[in-house]
Amino acid sequence: MEMKEIQDKLSKLGDDVMSGAESLAKGAFDGSKRVAEFIRLKGVISQAESRLNAAYIEIGKKYDELYGLNGAPEFAELLAQVAESRAQIARAREMMTSAGSAAMVCRGCGEPMLEGQRFCPHCGIKQTADPVE
């Protein structure tokens, strides 16, 4: 094999390697662009879902303000949960007011209980050393 022939083959091999490297780099770049776009779109979806959930919460609040427990039967269970939560909050606030710092709230069910109780009288969950006050 002549020197010229060897040089031509090496040159062709170099061109093939460069072409392959360029193709690989382009593929990696295109892949990175797709991943970046995917991540951006996930962010768009997440923000839209957050706004949607906030709107649903506001709709629920407005519905409750307008109809309360007199709403449509399909909402009876949810409205009862709202009423029970409000009552629970009122009981806890009343207990906090009447007992001062001697009141605390159960970590499990959120019901009010007296400071020093190791187990919740409502749900039975053992309280930790640092209760939610």
Q: pTM of whole model > 0.85? A: no
* pLDDT surpasses 60 at 36: yes
Domain spans of the chain, in order of start? 1-55
Task: For residue 102, give the nearest of 128, 133, 129 by alpha carbon.
Answer: 133
Q: What's the average model confidence in pLDDT over 60-69?
A: 89
Cα-Cα-Cα-Cα torsion 21, 26, 31, 35, nearest 10 degrees, comes to 120
H or E segment and range at residue 112 = strand 112-114
- Please write the tens of the pLDDT for every residue from 107-119: 888 887 887 888 9
